[in-house]
């Protein structure tokens, strides 16, 4: 026997250690195949996948996910939709909330100046709110207040902007004045004096145009019908208001139904931004006849049930005796 020869049953010969990669590539002791080739011989029952398909959601799944993701819609494709939504919102706001109006004259100086843009509250009238003394209101021409004149024909852009409330309409005939008296009030003004409502003089120095005379021309006393208002401009000598239309239907008053809403703020120009509150002179005690009568009427209404109950109790006692 040759020296160094070994039997197949003897102890294996010790060999030098192999690198880890080489060991990993070795075949297993049962199949003689490499681990990486194991799946290639599997039959259909073993879940073999066709070439190019990744059954385990590996790299193929990543490629499929990135390729199938929806691309963001182009801004230019979304722009018409955004414009449409904005126009609908503007139309709803104009119809139910607020509307912008332009001041075309000097009749409300210095409270409002020509060219000012005011925002008019159109929400509260939907809930039954009616004009109150001291408020600045916009109303439709009751008929005969504005001179009949040919207005320039607006172009398409102006019509669209006015329709959605971003621009005053040239076709609508609206006026803006201050409410001096409401339905049930008695208003009058003597030459050289002050305007009186229900016998109370108004201190109008806070809002009248400097140098403007409160009562010129004189008028009244006038009883304002229910559901109507008496209006006057703050620039009394440059305002064709209720005083100058007493010969028309309504005697110079305006129906509450003609009122568009109350002007609440000057929105433009920015340097003129301001709110339009009710002057304090309209809050003086006794100005409102309705408020003066209300406490007494409420007292009578509250005492009546008590009196009737007492009378019934006394009658029952007398009957029992």
pLDDT tens-digit series, residues 235-247: 999 999 999 999 9
Quote the pLDDT of residue 62: 45
Q: Produce one character per residue of 33-49: b if its CB has 16 or more CB atoms within 10 Å, e if not.
A: eeeeeeeeeeeeeeeee
| 86 phi, psi to nearest 5 deg | -65, -40
Quote the pLDDT of residue 83: 77
User: Could you give the CA distance from residue 232 to residue 209 in angstroms, rounded to a whole number?
Assistant: 12
User: Average model confidence (pLDDT) for the chain?
Assistant: 74
Quote the pLDDT of residue 97: 73
User: Could you give the CA distance from residue 212 to residue 189 in angstroms, rounded to a whole number?
Assistant: 14
Region 274-289: what's the mean pLDDT?
Answer: 89
Residue 45 lies in a domain: no
User: Could you give the CA distance from residue 90 to residue 105 in angstroms, rounded to a whole number?
Assistant: 27
Place of tokens 């073993």: 46
User: Could you give the CA distance from residue 170 to residue 158 in angstroms, rounded to a whole number?
Assistant: 9
pLDDT tens-digit series, residues 169-226: 555 689 999 999 999 999 999 988 999 999 999 999 999 999 999 988 899 899 999 9
Quote the pLDDT of residue 153: 62
Report the number of secondary-structure helices (H) and strands (E) in the chain.
Answer: 5, 12
Residue 261 lies in a domain: yes
Farthest CA pair distance, the chain: 153
**Highest mean pLDDT, choosing among 47-51, 119-123, 226-230, 285-289:** 226-230
pLDDT tens-digit series, residues 303-314: 556 656 666 666
pLDDT band per the 50, 70, 90 thresholds, residue 75: confident
Domain interval for residue 228? 81-142+157-282
Q: What is the pTM of this model?
A: 0.62
Residue 220 lies in a domain: yes
Quote the pLDDT of residue 308: 63
Enzyme catalytic residues? 107, 177
CATH code where residue 216 lies: 2.10.109.10
Query: How is the chain split among helix, strand and coil, in percent rounded to 5?
Result: 35, 20, 50
Number of domains forming the structure of the chain: 1
Region 19-41: what's the mean pLDDT?
Answer: 43
Residue 59 lies in a domain: no
User: Could you give the CA distance from residue 87 to residue 161 in angstroms, rounded to a whole number?
Assistant: 9
Do residues 293 and 263 make contact, with C-beta atoms less than 8 angstroms apart? no
Residue 203 lies in a domain: yes
Quote the pLDDT of residue 192: 86
Residue 153, burial from CB neighbour count under 10 angstroms (0-12, 13-18, 19+):
exposed
pLDDT tens-digit series, residues 144-173: 898 765 555 666 766 666 665 555 555 568
Residue 31 lies in a domain: no
Residue 51 lies in a domain: no
* Percent share of the chain, pLDDT over 70: 58
pLDDT band per the 50, 70, 90 thresholds, residue 271: very high
Quote the pLDDT of residue 152: 55
Residue 253 lies in a domain: yes
pLDDT tens-digit series, residues 109-152: 999 999 999 999 988 877 888 999 999 999 999 988 987 655 55
């Amino acid at each position: 026997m040759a020296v160094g020869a070994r039997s197949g049953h003897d102890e294996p010969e010790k060999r030098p250690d192999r690198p880890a990669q080489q060991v990993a590539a070795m075949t297993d002791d049962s199949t003689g195949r490499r681990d990486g080739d194991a799946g290639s011989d599997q039959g259909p029952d073993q879940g073999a996948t066709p070439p190019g398909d990744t059954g385990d959601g590996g790299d193929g799944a990543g490629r499929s996910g990135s390729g199938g993701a929806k691309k963001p819609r182009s801004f230019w494709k979304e722009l018409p939709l955004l414009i449409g939504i904005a126009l609908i919102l503007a139309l709803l706001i104009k119809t139910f909330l607020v509307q912008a109006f332009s001041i075309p004259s000097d009749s409300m100086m210095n409270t409002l100046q020509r060219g000012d843009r005011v925002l008019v509250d159109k929400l509260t009238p939907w809930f039954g709110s009616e004009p109150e003394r001291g408020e600045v209101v916009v109303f439709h021409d009751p008929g005969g207040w504005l001179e009949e004149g040919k207005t320039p024909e607006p172009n398409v852009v102006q019509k669209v902007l006015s329709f959605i409330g971003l621009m005053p309409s040239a076709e609508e005939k609206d006026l803006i004045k201050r409410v001096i008296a409401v339905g049930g009030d008695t208003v009058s003004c003597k030459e050289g004096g002050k305007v009186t409502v229900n016998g109370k003089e108004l201190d109008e120095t806070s809002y009248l145009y400097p140098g403007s005379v409160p009562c010129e021309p004189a008028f009244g006393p006038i009883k304002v019908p229910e559901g109507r208002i008496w209006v006057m401009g703050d620039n009394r000598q440059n305002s064709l208001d209720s005083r100058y239309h007493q010969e028309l239907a309504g005697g110079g008053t305006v129906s509450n139904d003609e009122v568009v809403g109350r002007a609440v703020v000057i929105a433009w120009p920015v340097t003129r931004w301001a709110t339009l509150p009710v002057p304090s002179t309209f809050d003086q005690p006794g100005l409102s006849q309705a408020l003066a009568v209300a406490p007494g009427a409420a007292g009578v209404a509250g005492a009546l049930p008590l009196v009737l109950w007492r009378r019934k109790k006394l009658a029952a006692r007398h009957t029992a005796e």
